[in-house]
Amino acid sequence: MKGKKTGGRKAGTPNRHGEKRKAAVRALAQRLAAVIPDAFDGDAHAYLMAIYKDPRQETAVRIDAAKAALPYEKPRLAPIEPPRASDDHIPLVERLKEYAREEAIEGSGGNVVELIKPGERDDRPPSQRN
């Protein structure tokens, strides 16, 4: 059957090789503690945190420790797509043209105004032009 687990380790059972590795690391840590009595007990990240939180350290040392620890404390920001214009978005140029048209209608005092596109010729006689 697809998707059904048959055989192997039961969920939660540690890997044999992983256990051997952890035991070797513990033994090494004990040997180091015997050689270096004041050795730090935590991991590298905890050590960096202890340095950058210690006000007795120089500022430059604290900053370097914080920079080294930062990727393990905060995820990097992922790039995002800028928001796209929605379907009901009207470009600024089109809105400005509409505003000019509305102003021309309001300024006509109720008379009919024919808007002529820029660059078009008006062939009407001057008496019929507004």
pLDDT at 1 over 60: no
The residue whose two tokens read 């040997």 is 31
pLDDT at 62 over 90: yes
Task: Give the C-alpha distances (Å, rounded to integers) separating 71 from 61, 68, 107, 126.
Answer: 17, 7, 63, 76
> Measured between alpha carbons, how far is 18 from 55 in angstroms, rounded to an integer?
38
- Under the banding of pLDDT at 50, 70 and 90, the label for residue 65 is very high
pLDDT higher at 14 or 70: 70
Q: What is the dihedral of CA 60, 61, 67, 71, to 10 degrees?
A: -170
pTM of the model: 0.39
> Measured between alpha carbons, how far is 44 from 69 in angstroms, rounded to an integer?
9
